[in-house]
Amino acid sequence: MRTIARVLGGGPADLLGLGLVAAIVFCVVPIGYVVAALTYRNGSVVGVVLVLVMVALIAAATAPVHVLPSAALVLYAVLPQQLIGYGYFGLTPALLVILVWSVRRWVAMPVVRPEPIDRWWLGARFAAVLLVLWTVYLMRTRPPIVSGGGPSAREWVISLAVGGLLVLYVRVSAREADLLVRTLAVATIAAAVFAVVEVVIQQNPIYLPLYDAVGRGLHLDGGLHRASVGFGHPLYAGTFFAVSFAVFFVRWIDDVPRSLIPLIAAVAGAASTVSRSALAVAAVIAAVVTVVRLPQLRRTRSPKLMRLLALAPLAVVAVAMSGLIDARTSTGEAARSSEVRGDNVTEAIVLARSSGWVGSGPTTADPLTIASSGGAYPMENSLLQLLVSLGVPGLVLFLTTLALVVVSAVRSGAHAGAAAAVAFIAVTAGYNGLETLLPLHSLLGLVVLLCLAGASQSATTDVPSTPAPALTAPRTSNGPS
């Protein structure tokens, strides 16, 4: 226990809640196989979802409150929607843990008036509330006219409110955020190892049999196996690795210890998914962060700039020589995917105009796109999904909320969180995720948590006297690092 805690950089007490979640992880496969055997190919996983939700609820209610965000991250990484469906009322186990964490943090808030909140953070709260109210209004006034078989409008609104709104109303402690980053490091390394093994053996030995058994098999065209790990799809895995890359690249640039190995793991994981959008976003994030940090690197005479100039071409060559990108690009599925994404823009404008630009209602983008295209394709762009479903007001409110969160993070020095938020929205713009994949809302909430950790004034019982080094920008020095 102490050895693992030393790797994570914390004390043994920090591992209590994660230990409870680990017990869930070890139960996933046997419980999944048992339920799958009892409900052979009928898609019913009520039993496994009920067990997991109950265990997650018990763990969230009894574990130390500061470990719950990390527990939610673990649950997000090992319980894909492909396996458990849409949870109960849109609450997946990870979202349920975030909900319980929010409630417990509210209860633990001091009675005295806290310090003033950053105005950008207040603006994000206001925009998020307006977004949820607008979504509820559309749900009540514009019920879906086409059945899509995805999450219901009610499930989607509850999921978005818990994942994207509640976190804004919690004063995140530096202890929570720091443990979350360290847990993300371990999860990234473990997921990358799994992804590389997938590519080597050309199959997912744990999750694919479970998907097939519950009637939600994962079938990708093109003859190239792309790692999906425990996220349900290569694109979802690519999103996780891109977010991890953003966090740990900023940490590595800022000389935060134990950042290089998870950074390398994130690159390897993203390459194993062969997600072109994830790799492109990672490259852009690296370039932008390097340019922004260039004066600091020169002032401190850090050797990192020269290492970047040497390692970046080597990384590109390594990915190219692996043959994965070429194999992916040469497939017919890749060509169709690029063509569909181009057609989606025109399709989204037509559908948004047909609703008067106010939206056709939550969760309607994919069904309407499939119907209008004759069943050829869904709306493979999360932002265009929101444009169709929530209209211009909903899309503007969503982007405004995230923009204000990022500004608050940058102003408070939580640059790793800001980079993660940019990576999240950039990658999800490449596929139909935000309206289709409910667990993605839990990742969004955790990214927002990292953004707000630098500006948040935490409860007196749960806050160290200094900000978390994993999140805030370092002080400059006069010598080399």
Q: What is the pLDDT of residues 323-374, one digit of tens each?
A: 555 555 555 555 566 667 778 888 999 999 999 999 999 989 988 888 888 7
Beta-carbon contacts of residue 62 (< 8 Å; ≥ 6 apart): 20
Question: Residue 473 in 3-state DSSP?
Answer: coil
Q: Decide: residue 326, CB within 10 A, 0-12 exposed, 13-18 middle, 19+ buried.
A: exposed
pLDDT at 190 over 70: yes
Owning domain of residue 364: 2-109+118-452
What's the pLDDT at 299? 75
Asked, for residue 473, whether it belongs to a domain, the answer is no
Asked, for residue 470, whether it belongs to a domain, the answer is no
Asked, for residue 481, whether it belongs to a domain, the answer is no
Asked, for residue 54, whether it belongs to a domain, the answer is yes
Q: Residues 465-478: what's their mean pLDDT?
A: 42
Return d(Cα 471, Cα 450) in angstroms, integer.
7
Asked, for residue 442, whether it belongs to a domain, the answer is yes
Asked, for residue 475, whether it belongs to a domain, the answer is no
Q: 320: pLDDT confidence band, cut at 50, 70 and 90?
A: low
What's the pLDDT at 9? 53
Beta-carbon contacts of residue 349 (< 8 Å; ≥ 6 apart): none
Buried/exposed code over 18-39 (b: 16+ C-beta within 10 A; e: otherwise): bbbbeebeeebeebbeebbeeb
Among candidates 86, 94, 160, which has minimal Cα distance to 128? Answer: 160
pLDDT at 11 over 80: no
What's the pLDDT at 460? 34
Q: pLDDT by residue (tens digit) across 370-387?
A: 888 877 788 889 999 999
Domain count along the chain: 1
Half-sphere exposure of 353 (CA within 13 A, CB side): 6
Asked, for residue 355, whether it belongs to a domain, the answer is yes
Q: Which CA distances in Å does 148 have to 86, 98, 123, 165, 368?
A: 14, 28, 34, 26, 8
Asked, for residue 474, whether it belongs to a domain, the answer is no
